[in-house]
């Protein structure tokens, strides 16, 4: 398989009692399908995966697979500091019906490049699903370097990398590894357009949680090489990127989605609701979000 376009790293909706809100999950998935999202990452860092127990993890992946009903790929996050635990999560995701896996580098333990190489090869040899590498040093404390990615890219089960380092030179080094069997995906919303115009085939996005139709359009424009139109649209999205980074992800995203009536907004400790001093600035994005999504809807209806 080959993932491309707007891929949303979906939040996990919880009810007031902190249990998974499956009706809200189904509604979110239907909304993304209507808005042109090309795939969903379930139980990634945006989905508070580290705060789920094993039973909830399996239920969440299965619930998403059932709700999607084959209409778009479900990519399961399998992040863990432990290779053994990551493989166990991969097996759970496979049995739950996931389409592919997104494996963040082993956080906290700070492995060497050789350790990460062995980690990914061990999983790829045994997981039974397409595997996407995920590098986000700001969260994990380790950095999967392009030369290590190059050693992994030839494995038949490893189909791409999500790179969240916002460095143009890093992205160029990874793009040199791109092939029909190995996709380069941005993992950083503020620099996603730059990456896509340089050759990345899509973005695994947090912003797509709150502006799915607009972000999908951005990815389409980038894929079509419409630099001016894409750049203009990206400028409109910059305040939303800023708002979503004011506190740890997914705190601002869930605040906005609650204000939009999409979910309850519950976070699990140690995450806490958006701090009062940020709320006014984040709230100012709501009008932009509604206006932008409405414009994209009108354009789609008018132009097919």
Per domain, the residue ranges of the chain are: 5-303
- In this prediction, residue 300 carries a pLDDT of 63
CATH topology for the 5-303 domain: TIM Barrel (3.20.20)
Establish whether 162 is a catalytic residue: yes
* The pLDDT value given to residue 286: 84
pLDDT of residue 165 exceeding 70, the answer is: yes
Which entry of 57, 162, 241, 254 is annotated as an active-site residue?
Answer: 162
> Which one is catalytic: 134, 235, 241, 254?
134
Q: What tens digit of pLDDT does each residue of 58-69 get?
A: 999 999 999 999
Q: Quick check: is 254 catalytic?
A: no
CB atoms within 10 A of CB 285: 22
Q: What is the mean pLDDT of residues 93-104?
A: 98
Mean pLDDT of the chain: 95
Question: Residue 58: CB partners within 8 Å, gap ≥ 6?
Answer: 92, 95, 96
How much is the pTM? Answer: 0.95
Q: Which residues have C-beta within 8 Å of that of residue 75, sequence separation ≥ 6? A: 3, 7, 39, 40, 41, 42, 98, 99, 100, 101, 102, 132
Q: What is the DSSP letter of 20?
A: B
């Amino acid at each position: 398989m080959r993932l491309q376009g707007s891929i949303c790293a979906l939040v996990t909706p919880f009810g007031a009692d902190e249990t998974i809100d499956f009706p809200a999950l189904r509604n979110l998935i239907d909304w993304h399908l209507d808005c042109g999202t090309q795939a969903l990452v379930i139980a990634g860092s945006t989905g508070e995966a580290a705060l789920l127990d094993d039973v909830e993890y399996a239920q969440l992946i299965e619930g998403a697979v059932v709700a999607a009903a084959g209409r778009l790929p479900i990519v399961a996050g399998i992040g863990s500091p432990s290779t053994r635990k990551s493989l166990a999560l991969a097996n759970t995701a496979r049995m739950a019906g996931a389409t592919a896996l997104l494996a963040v580098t082993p956080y906290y333990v700070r492995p060497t490049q050789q350790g990460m190489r062995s980690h990914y090869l061990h999983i790829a040899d045994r997981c039974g699903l397409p595997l996407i590498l995920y590098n986000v040093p700001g969260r994990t404390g380790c950095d999967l370097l392009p030369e290590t990615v190059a050693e992994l890219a030839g494995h038949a089960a490893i189909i791409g990398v999500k790179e969240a380092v916002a460095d143009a030179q890093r992205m160029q080094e990874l793009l040199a590894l791109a092939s029909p069997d190995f996709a380069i995906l941005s993992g950083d919303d503020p620099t996603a357009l730059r990456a896509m115009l340089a050759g990345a085939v899509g973005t695994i996005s947090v912003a797509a949680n709150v502006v799915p139709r607009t972000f999908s359009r951005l990815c389409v424009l980038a894929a079509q090489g419409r630099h001016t139109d894409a750049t203009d649209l990206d400028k409109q999205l910059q305040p939303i990127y800023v708002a979503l980074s004011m506190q740890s992800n997914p705190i601002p995203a869930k605040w906005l989605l609650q204000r939009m009536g999409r979910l309850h907004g519950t976070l699990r400790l140690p995450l806490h609701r958006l701090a009062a001093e940020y709320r006014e600035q984040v709230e100012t994005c709501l009008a932009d979000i509604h206006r932008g999504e409405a414009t994209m809807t009108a354009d789609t209806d008018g132009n097919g």
